[in-house]
Amino acid sequence: MKLRLDHLAVSCTALDAGAAAVEAALGLPLVSGGRHAHMGTHNRLLRLGDLYLEVIAIDPDAAAPSWPRWFDLDRFSGAPRLTNWVAACDDLDAALLHAPDGAGGAMDLARGDLRWRMGVPDNGRLPFGGAFPALIQWQGPHPAPRLPDTGARLARLVVSHPEAVALRAALSGLTDARMVIEPGSLTLCAEIDTPHGRRVLA
C-alpha cells in the first residue's frame, strides 16, 4: 500500500501559545485553520510546499467529546512540540488493513468545505508510541495549495524509535527521501528550510 507524507502535527495545551512558539522557531507566520467539532480541537497552519504543518490544541470553547481525541491530546502536557505526523493514501480501508494494530478505524470528518477520512484509534494513541502516522484519505481538495506559500519546505522528518526496524517495515509503502527512521529513544524532529535558513522543530 503506497503512502505519502501529508502533514505534521505540533501539539500544545493552548493554541495561541503553540502558534507563537512555532512562529518564533521558524520565523514565519501561521494562518488560521479552523475547528474540528467532532474532536473538540482547533488549529493553525503553515504550508510546507506539497504538505503542511498544523499546530493543534483542545478547543476550550468546544464541547468535550465522549471519546478520546486524536493525537492523544487528552493526555498532552508540557511545552508545544512535534508529536505526530500524517500519511496520505488512496484507499484508507486497505491501508488500515495493512497497518499495525491500533492504527484505528476509518472515520469520516470535515472542516468547512474540506472532507477527509482518517484512521483514529479508539484510545487516541497511534502505534509505536505515536511514531507511526495517522492515515488519511482526502475526499476533495487538499489544504496545502490553499495556504500562503511562505517558502518553507520540509527537508527531513527524522523519527527515532527503539524498534526502528519494525517501524521501517510497517512503513514500507512510504518511499520519500525526506523520511528518515533511525534507532533511538522516541523522538520526532522536522528539519524545515525557510527563507531564513534551515530551522528545526522537535
Strand 153-161: give its sheet, edge to edge. Answer: 179-183, 153-161, 187-194, 197-201
Q: Residue 184: exposed, middle, or buried by beta-carbon count in 10 A (0-12, 13-18, 19+)? A: exposed
Range scoring the smallest mean pLDDT among 6-10, 90-94, 108-112: 108-112
Q: Quick one: average pLDDT of 24-49?
A: 97
**d(C-alpha 164, C-alpha 181), whole Å:** 6
What pLDDT, in 10s, does the model give residues 181-194? 999 999 999 999 99
pLDDT at 142 over 90: yes
Residue entry with cell 504550508: 47
* All structural domains of the chain with their residue ranges: 4-150
Contacts of 34 (CB under 8 A, 6+ apart): 42, 43, 111, 112
Give the pLDDT score at 1. 78
Name beta bridge partners: 116.
109, 138
What pLDDT, in 10s, does the model give residues 104-137? 999 999 988 999 999 999 999 999 999 999 999 9
Per residue, the 3-state secondary structure of the chain, as one string, reads CCEEEEEEEEECCCHHHHHHHHHHHHCCCCEEEEEECCCCEEEEEEEECCEEEEEEEECCCCCCCCCCCHHHHHHCCCCCEEEEEEEECCCHHHHHHHCCCCCCEEEEEEECCEEEEEEECCCCCCCHHHCCCEEEEECCCCCHHHCCCCCCEEEEEEEEECCHHHHHHHCCCECCCCEEEEECCCEEEEEEEECCEEEEEC
Q: Quick one: average pLDDT of 133-153?
A: 97
**d(C-alpha 111, C-alpha 124), whole Å:** 19
Q: Which CATH superfamily is domain 4-150 in?
A: 2,3-Dihydroxybiphenyl 1,2-Dioxygenase, domain 1 (3.10.180.10)
Identify the band that residue 52 occupies on the pLDDT scale cut at 50, 70 and 90. Answer: very high
Give the pLDDT score at 179. 97
Q: Quick one: average pLDDT of 39-64?
A: 97
Give the pLDDT score at 151. 98
Does the pTM surpass 0.85? The reply is: yes
Give the pLDDT score at 69. 96
